[in-house]
Amino acid sequence: MVETLKVGIVGANWTLFHAAAWRNVPGVEVAAICTAHQETAEAAAAENGIPNAYWRLEDMLANPELSIINVGTRPSQRYDMVMAALAAGKHVYNCLPFATDAARATQMHELQRARGLVGAVDAQWRWTPAIRRMKELIEEGAIGEFFTATIHLQLALYDYDDLIYTQCTLSGTTKPYHWLTQSASGASAWRNFGSHTILNLMYLFGEIEEIVGTTNTFVKELRFPDGTEIRPDTDDFGLALLRFRNGGLANINVSWAMADAPGYFLEVCGSKGRLVARDAGFCDSTTTLYYGGTRPGEQGGLVELPDRLFDVEGTTFSKQNAPIFIVPLTALLADMARVIRTGAGEASPSFAEAAHAHRAVEAAILSKARKSWVRVDEVGA
């Protein structure tokens, strides 16, 4: 019989979306939730059928039955939580952005490695069927020698009319997340979305050598129907050019304040062909994949995605019934559970990858100040 892995979730709100995915993984139980207040913890536990509610993290970490801690909350609060969970001998699933600076990113990875624990991060795009197929085709030589990639993630996080913002559309919720506009939270369009795009590119092409970039805050004021007014002090836009260790180049364009937001776009080009993935939202089970070759007159077209890429062992998921967002997230969590049970390899994406990606994120911010390229290895060294 497979030993049950029990998960404790830190944070309510959208983090509880993870509970639905964890429950799809065979042999995993969502056994606890921790929020900042007793009333919110008990309410979240009752509403989501979670047996244990905590409002002090140390109390949840003292529960010997818990194997995995799923850390949500604001980025600025996660470092202490992740470090405490690792010190308590728990495996950790951490959200993005991975850290608030490169030093903390390195420290979390080093402690995870030193304790022999499994660390995974909330970057499920590499488990999206279209991206998995893209990687297979690249490895099979479909694009030949890799030249360059372009990746965009542009969303309208707030719906608005004449700058009256009505709702936050992140992860389908209609609750405004005002802390996303506050630099003290550790969030920003570049740190959040840049982390996702960089980890996506790393999955396909490896580590990054150097980067140059800039950020901006285009929406200067948010006014809500209840009279609330906010002047954001975080960037809502990021732009970067990077060079991989393998010599290839890529450009990134991310925003969460984009009019008529086109969603996700990834184009990779090489000596023999081009692959393009598109999604109107956040790169999901609905993402399409296109291939075009370089031969004169050669017709490109949509790539058929094999049924096997929608399967998650132990679930009833299939290409025909794949729920949006849940399939790649469940696949990521199932992989983490596999690594915990077998000790084989690292979770994907791992803390090691996340630490490198975060150094690249911070390198782009540093390059804005320097007005020059910044080597990723310089950051946090």
Strand order through the sheet with 229-230: 158-161, 164-168, 222-223, 229-230
**118 touches 108 (CB < 8 A):** no
Is 272 a residue whose pLDDT tops 80? yes
Is 124 a residue whose pLDDT tops 80? yes
Which of these ranges, 25-39, 170-184, 355-369, has the smallest mean pLDDT? 170-184
* pLDDT at 165 (0 to 100): 46
Share of the chain above pLDDT 90, in %: 72
**210 touches 376 (CB < 8 A):** yes
Among 162, 296, 154, 310, smallest CA distance to 225 is for: 162
* pLDDT at 102 (0 to 100): 94
- C-alpha 229: how far from chain center: 29
* pLDDT at 258 (0 to 100): 84
For the purposes of burial, counting CB atoms within 10 Å of the CB of 101, is it exposed (0-12), middle (13-18) or buried (19 or more)?
A: middle
- What is the dihedral angle through the alpha carbons of 278, 157, 322, 45, rounded to the nearest 10 degrees? 160
Sign of CA dihedral 45, 51, 55, 56: negative
- C-alpha 381: how far from chain center: 24
Provide the residue type at 194 as one letter. G
- Alpha-carbon span 352 to 112, nearest angstrom: 9
Per-chain mean pLDDT for the chain? 90
- Alpha-carbon span 364 to 371, nearest angstrom: 10
Pairing of strands 249-255, 146-154: parallel
Is 42 a residue whose pLDDT tops 70? yes
Determine the straight-line distance between the first and last CA of the chain, rounded to whole angstroms.
45
Is 91 a residue whose pLDDT tops 60? yes
Is 44 a residue whose pLDDT tops 80? yes
Among 202, 219, 205, 249, smallest CA distance to 361 is for: 202
Residue that is written with structure tokens 């994120």 in the block: 361
- Alpha-carbon span 238 to 240, nearest angstrom: 7
- pTM, rounded to two decimals: 0.93
* pLDDT at 176 (0 to 100): 53
Q: What is the mean pLDDT of residues 42-55?
A: 93
- Alpha-carbon span 277 to 264, nearest angstrom: 8
Q: What ranges do the domains of the chain cover?
A: 5-124, 128-315+351-370
How confident is residue 174, by pLDDT bands cut at 50, 70 and 90?
very low
Is 195 a residue whose pLDDT tops 70? yes
Is 159 a residue whose pLDDT tops 90? no
How confident is residue 322, by pLDDT bands cut at 50, 70 and 90?
confident
* pLDDT at 169 (0 to 100): 45
* pLDDT at 297 (0 to 100): 60
* In CATH, 128-315+351-370 is 3.30.360.10: yes
Is 184 a residue whose pLDDT tops 80? yes
Is 1 a residue whose pLDDT tops 80? no
Q: What is the mean pLDDT of residues 240-264?
A: 93
How confident is residue 381, by pLDDT bands cut at 50, 70 and 90?
low
Bridge partner list, 348 = none
Q: What is the mean pLDDT of residues 57-79?
A: 95
For the purposes of burial, counting CB atoms within 10 Å of the CB of 22, is it exposed (0-12), middle (13-18) or buried (19 or more)?
A: buried
* pLDDT at 295 (0 to 100): 66
Provide the residue type at 328 as one letter. P
Residue that is written with structure tokens 């804005």 in the block: 368
* In CATH, 5-124 is 3.40.50.720: yes
Which of these ranges, 8-22, 26-40, 89-103, 112-126, has the smallest mean pLDDT? 8-22
DSSP string, 168-182: E-GGG--S--GGGG-
* pLDDT at 166 (0 to 100): 44
Q: What is the mean pLDDT of residues 254-274?
A: 91
Is 171 a residue whose pLDDT tops 50? no
* pLDDT at 278 (0 to 100): 95
* pLDDT at 128 (0 to 100): 96
- Alpha-carbon span 134 to 140, nearest angstrom: 10
Q: What is the mean pLDDT of residues 214-242?
A: 87
For residues 246 and 230, the model is more confident at 246
Question: Going by C-beta distance under 8 Å and a sequence separation of 6 or more, which residues neighbour residue 124?
Answer: 328, 329, 331, 332
* pLDDT at 292 (0 to 100): 86
What are the pLDDT digits (tens) for 339-370?
Answer: 999 999 999 999 999 999 999 999 999 999 99
Question: Does residue 29 sit in helix, strand or coil?
Answer: strand
- Alpha-carbon span 154 to 258, nearest angstrom: 6
Share of the chain above pLDDT 70, in %: 92
